[in-house]
Structures are given as structure tokens and as C-alpha cells.
Amino acid sequence: MNVARYFDHNATAPVLLSIQDEVAEFIKNEWANPSATYLKGREEKIILQDSRKALADWLKIDPLEWIFTSGASESNALVFYTLDHQSQDSEFIRSHGLRKKIITSSIEHPSVIENAKFLSQKKGYQWVQIPISKEGNIDYEYLENQIDNSTLLVSFMAASNETGLVFDIQKIAKMAKNQGAYFHTDATQALGKIDLNLEDVDYASFSAHKVNAFKGIGGLVVKNKCPLLPLIKGGGQERFRRAGTENIMGVWSFKKAAEFYQSGQKTLEFQNIKKMRDDFELKILESLGGVQVTHQSSLRLPNTTHLFFDDIQTQSLLINLDLKGYAVSVGSACSSGALRPSQTLLGMGYSARQALQGLRVSFGLGNKSSEIDQFILEIKNSVAKTRSISKPPSVLFAEEVKV
């Protein structure tokens, strides 16, 4: 596909050119098992250690606080699994009390939501979801009142995959700390896009493919003082915190991304990306009526824009744009061609009908300023075309895949 017409970088980001260039040579040489004791195995171990250090430098943590996983969904599962067991530990109950309350935002990713739901439905936890307003605000006072000495975990994403809304995770982390609760952040979308301060954060989840490295590799930050019960048990990899032969190629790709994202080149590229996003918003608001930018006045990721179009079916808009070679996201999930409204938007109080009128455009490496005018023209034409069709959006509550 033409990467310049790909505007769905929050779903996944194209692999860095330097990784593309070096991958064949890498896999030709680096396929031995890092746990093996012979020279080649020891060399793989060094790649693993170097990569862990690169990630730790990026996040300003101790390298031992980084665990490689298969991605953020696994990292999120690992936190909930660990803390469920921790809450049952007699020593923990003695020192921290019985803690069976979990607090999340109302707009978390399904890989957080489904764990919270599981614990509340099957393990007797109370799960409180903190509403986020249409304007992107949290009632911090309400949140602080909800966090009490029965709270085990507060889990808030660092930034929304859908609208780009950025949360003040340090502030929330401190609130959790004050009540002896653990704080976890799914920082998948924030990594590389904003500065992350993990100082008061206990756990943080990441996926490499959102920062232009490979799919199937990710990580969990687990601070040295925090418990960790392996979800994948077995060998001693990752200091007995995550078993399984290390995905050394994936690990290497994540290291390459860490290096790129800490370089001046990234800074330049992302200055341009932010400018592109801002120009895009300005121009689309100028050239089209009945369109609003979600959370425009809130702190947002620099690459993400979420739009509402009056009187359209976003699904039709997507199809039109797809036919022109543009990749954007409805910010919703699709099953059998029918749409389910975005849980994120429902979580902000939008109706199902409104939620089906949203469009996510997420910029990234490979996008070109010179393409934006044409892109806007295509959106304008598609919106006009779609608005001429009067049929209301079909709402089907099929199951969803969020990306």
C-alpha cells in the first residue's frame, strides 16, 4: 500500500526502514537460543540485554524493571492476574487489608476492560469505571473519593487510542499511592508520542508495533518493589517473570524503535507530524460544515485527530476512502460488515447513533504534508456523497476487535 495514504498509525505503525533494511541479515545470523551456553547463545543474550537497556533508557527505569512480553494485551493481562493473586495473599491482606476494588477509566482498551470485567464477574471484585466527559474531562475529585483503602488497582490509559486524549497519569498514580493501591497505565498509544513520566507508576504496558517495530513483541514495566506472578510459567527467562524462548528478532526491532524514537530524527519527524495534524484539522473545519474535532481543547497526542460528521454513516465514508486508497479508522469495530459503536465514545456519554458518526485519523512516519490537501478533498467528496444517502447508520452489537 501507499504509506503516504495510510492514516491509521494508532492501529499499527509501518516498520522502520532501518528495520526493513536489516531484518534479513539479522535473522540470517541471530537465530540461536539466548538461553544456550555456547558462544552464539551468549551473543543472543547480549542482544537481549542491550535491548532491555535501550528500553529502560527510553523510559528512565531500571533495566530489571522491564519484562519483554508478546504485546500490551499480554502485559495488561499479566498485571490483573498478578494483582488478583496478590489480593488473596495472607501476608498482603495483613499489611494492606482486604482489597477487592478495581478502578479504571470508562474508555480503556478492551484488553484492560475484559480483565476488569472478568475479575468483577467471576472473582467478586467491585469494578468502578470513572466517566470521561464528551469534552475529555475527568472529575478528579470523584476519582479521588472512589480510591479508598479497599482499592487494589487503579488502571488508567496514558492516552486514548481513539481521540488521543492524554491523562495526567502522575496525578492519578499519586492518588492511588496515597491509598496504598497499585497504579497501572496502558501506555501503548502514548509511547513515542508524548513524554512519559513513570515515576509514581507501578506497572505500565507497551506494544512495539505501535512505535514502528514488529508485532508480537511488547513489554511490561514492573517497578522493583511491585509483585509479579508469571502468567506464562516455565523457564527462567525474564528472571522467571515470563517464560518462553525469547523472541530475539522482535526484541531487536523494539530496540531499534527505542533508538529511533530517542534520536533527533524522530523529533523532526514528529514536529512535522503534529503540524500536519493541526493543518488537517484547520483545513477540514474550514472546508466542511457539520464537522467537529473531538477533545480539541484538551491535551491530546500530537498525531491523532478524531472527528464527528453530522448526517453521515462513517462506514460509507470509510468505504469511499478505502476505494481511493486511504486507510483510516472508524474508531469502532467491524463484524460482518456491520458496525458496533465505539465503546470509547459510549464511555464518554455519546449515543450509539453519534458514536457511529466518528472518524479517527492518526498520522505517523511516511505521511507527507503534500498529500494532505488531496486527502481532505477526498474526505470532502466522500462526506458529500455519503450525506446524499439518507439511510441511518445500521447499529449491530456484534463483537468487536479494537485496534
Q: Which of residues 15-74 bind its own copies (CB under 8 A)?
A: 15, 19-21, 23-24, 27-29, 31-33, 35-41, 70-74
- Residue 233 within binding range of its own copies, rule CB under 8 A: yes
- Contact between 302 and 270 under an 8 Å Cβ cutoff? The reply is yes
Q: Which of residues 165-184 bind its own copies (CB under 8 A)?
A: none
Task: Report the distance separating Cα 372 and Cα 343, nearest Å.
Answer: 29
- Residue 157 within binding range of its own copies, rule CB under 8 A: no
> Which is closer to its own copies, CB of 37 or CB of 370?
37
Task: Report the distance separating Cα 267 and Cα 30, nearest Å.
Answer: 30
Which residue type, as a one-letter code, is found at position 375? F
Which residue type, as a one-letter code, is found at position 247? N
Q: Count the residues of the shown chain that bind its own copies, applying the rule CB under 8 A.
A: 81
- Residue 227 within binding range of its own copies, rule CB under 8 A: no
| 205, 247, 294, 344: residue in contact with its own copies (rule CB under 8 A) | 247
- Residue 401 within binding range of its own copies, rule CB under 8 A: yes
Residue with cell 523532526: 268
Question: CB of 165: closest distance to its own copies in angstroms?
Answer: 20
Name the catalytic one among 23, 288, 334, 352: 334
- Residue 374 within binding range of its own copies, rule CB under 8 A: no
CA atoms within 13 A on the CB side of 79: 33
| 4, 64, 232, 346: residue in contact with its own copies (rule CB under 8 A) | 232
Is 226 designated active site?
no
| 64, 118, 180, 275: residue in contact with its own copies (rule CB under 8 A) | 118
DSSP bridge partners of 60: none
Quote the cell numbers at residue 44: 543472543
The angle that helices 72-88 and 110-122 make with each other, rounded to 10 degrees, is 30
- Residue 76 within binding range of its own copies, rule CB under 8 A: yes
Q: Which of residues 319-338 bind its own copies (CB under 8 A)?
A: 321-322, 326-330, 333-335
* Strand order, beta sheet including 101-105: 66-69, 218-222, 203-207, 182-186, 151-155, 101-105, 126-130
Q: Which of residues 206-225 bind its own copies (CB under 8 A)?
A: 207, 209, 214-217
Q: What is the dihedral of CA 101, 106, 110, 116, to 10 degrees?
A: 10
Q: Which of residues 283-322 bind its own copies (CB under 8 A)?
A: 318, 321-322
Task: Report the distance separating Cα 315 and Cα 329, nearest Å.
Answer: 9
Q: Which residues contact 195 (CB under 8 A, 6 or more apart)?
A: none
**Residues in contact with its own copies, shown as a per-residue x/- string from 248 to 277 under the rule CB under 8 A:** xxx---------------------------
- Annotated catalytic residues are 334
